Amino acid sequence: MNTLNYRVNLGFAGYSDSDLGDFTDNVIASLTGNPSFPTSPVDMTTLAAQRAAYGTASVNAAQGGTQLTAIKNAAKKALVTSLRKIAAYVQSIASQDVAMLLSSGFQANSTNRAQTPLAIPTILSITNDAAMELTVRLQPVDNARAYQVRYSVSGGAWLPIVDSTQARQIAVENLTPGTMYVMQARAVGGSRGYSDWSDPVSHMAM
């Protein structure tokens, strides 16, 4: 049996401002107190400060202007550089243990051509972008063909599954305002056809 070797997916460098911020928040939460990665080359306090600076710069740059955009780009470069250093550290420890690698908040690329089970997607955020609608953002899963979101009211029976070919913006429509919904997501593809369902996340429709 061949040993699977994994590389950390570095696609976060191309994320949008909001998605990169959400991704960094997840990495900070995942690595804080994680016994598998005790000596990160960038400590979480520093990473959190860089993430905050990038968030502020992104908001300011939305107002327009060359100088504000340059400040945002510099903040993003500093943040991505730190994330790349941490990614290399995570890979050096967990290249053959995908569960350990995923516990860091990073995603994995398998260097083995054989089809393998998909990782479980993480729900990064659920937002009220429109009336009677919730927008679910997932952390992308390597080699996933598509994604599915299921939802229920207060832990009741699961309602119809919503399919999407991308992870960044999955709209769940025709919801009842003022109702709390529980959401889960899974990736489609891999050797099993689907990943397991993600941890549930609750959010109220407006």
User: Which pLDDT tens digits describe the chain residue by residue (206 residues)?
Assistant: 345 578 898 888 888 888 899 999 999 999 999 999 999 999 999 999 999 999 999 999 988 788 999 999 999 999 999 999 999 999 999 988 888 999 999 988 766 555 678 899 999 999 999 999 999 999 998 888 889 999 999 778 998 899 998 898 999 999 999 999 999 999 998 878 899 999 999 999 99
68 plus 136 within the same structural domain: no
Total domains, the chain: 2
105 plus 32 within the same structural domain: yes
Per the structure, the complete domain to which residue 81 belongs is given by 6-110
What pTM does this model have?
0.59
φ, ψ dihedrals at 163, nearest 5°: -100, 145
127 plus 187 within the same structural domain: yes
Q: Which residue, 110, 133, 160, sits at the end of a domain? A: 110
Question: Which residue type is seen at 198?
Answer: S
C-alpha distances (whole Å) from 197 to each of 4, 147, 191 are 23, 11, 16
Question: CA 91, CA 195: separation in Å to the nearest integer?
Answer: 22
Cα-Cα-Cα-Cα torsion 130, 156, 182, 101, nearest 10 degrees, comes to -150
Which residue reads 């500093």 in tokens? 78
- Tell whether 118 is covered by a domain: no
The CATH number covering residue 150 comes to 2.60.40.10
